[in-house]
Amino acid sequence: MNLQDIKGSYNLIVSLGSACNPALQLNRLNLRSFTSGPLDWSYSPFLSDVSELLHNKFDGFMEIDNMRLIDDTGSYAYIDDKVFKFPNQNIHVQKKSYIIQDTRYNIFSAHDFPILQNKHWTSMYPKFKRNLDYRVSRFMKRMINSESILFIRWVAQYEETVKLQSILSKITKGNFKILILNPIDNLQCPVEINWEIDKVCTVNVPIDPNSISTWDYVLNGITLTH
């Protein structure tokens, strides 16, 4: 598929990560289907983990026994012995937060546990889990019942996308399409890539995840049915 093929109106438009930027841009363009999805404000470095999460219908997601503190500085997360720094612009929560990893699915909470004096991160867990469970339930119901869905993912490999497409084909009833944006160093403008995967549009894009011109280009012609 190409960008022309995904233009149109959808009952549901959702972000599948990898970070906050898809949700932020959908919000800017009034394309958000609900206030927050279960993956909107997290970091999911590998699409294969997201596919497994969807396959399992979020079973065990962010259960406290599977969660561990990764970083308490409010600036960095340590992933695979590398330093990952979250963008200092367009973050929806300005307070410094703990980075907490769900070790079962390798997904990181980046904004849900603010660093508060004399407060352990686990003290905020019950409220976090109630909100997350509500978001998951709403997401699953809408995904199962919507007639047309657009899934958007920032960063994906070919094999991961094949797996995602297969899983979504089994758990959705309506028509769906997947938009993949892959950031490439030194690229000046979006370039469509034909992966020849049914229902998938892949675009190589400039590396800045918050580029308004990039998002305006790839989402041009896409609307949400309210």
pLDDT score for 81: 37
In this predicted structure, the answer to whether residue 34 has a pLDDT above a threshold of 60 is yes
- What is the overall mean pLDDT for the chain? 91
pLDDT score for 35: 84
Tell me: the pLDDT tens digits for 120-154? Answer: 999 999 999 999 999 999 999 999 999 999 999 99
pLDDT score for 93: 42
pLDDT score for 76: 58
Percent of the chain residues topping a pLDDT of 90: 85
pLDDT score for 88: 41
DSSP string, 141-201: HHHHH-SEEEEEEES--HHHHHHHHHHHHHH--SEEEEEEEEEETT--S-EEE----TTEE
Higher model confidence: residue 96 or residue 101? 101
pLDDT score for 183: 97
How many distinct structural domains can be found in the chain?
A: 1
pLDDT score for 82: 40
In this predicted structure, the answer to whether residue 168 has a pLDDT above a threshold of 50 is yes
Cβ neighbour number for residue 211 with a 10 Å cutoff: 16
In this predicted structure, the answer to whether residue 94 has a pLDDT above a threshold of 70 is no
In this predicted structure, the answer to whether residue 30 has a pLDDT above a threshold of 90 is yes
Beta strand residue intervals within the chain, DSSP E: 8-10, 12-15, 42-43, 67-71, 76-79, 82-85, 99-102, 107-109, 148-154, 175-184, 191-193, 200-206, 222-224
Residue 212, domain extent: 3-224
Tokens at 115, concatenated: 């660093």
pLDDT score for 89: 39
Half-sphere exposure of 26 (CA within 13 A, CB side): 29
In this predicted structure, the answer to whether residue 14 has a pLDDT above a threshold of 60 is yes
Tell me: the pLDDT tens digits for 56-90? Answer: 999 999 999 999 999 998 875 444 334 344 444 34
pLDDT score for 86: 42
Tokens at 64, concatenated: 């406290």
The predicted model gives 40-56 an average pLDDT of 97
pLDDT band (50, 70, 90) for residue 10: very high
pLDDT score for 191: 98
Q: Given phi > 0 = left and psi -120 to 50 = alpha, else beta, which region is 42?
A: beta
pTM: 0.91
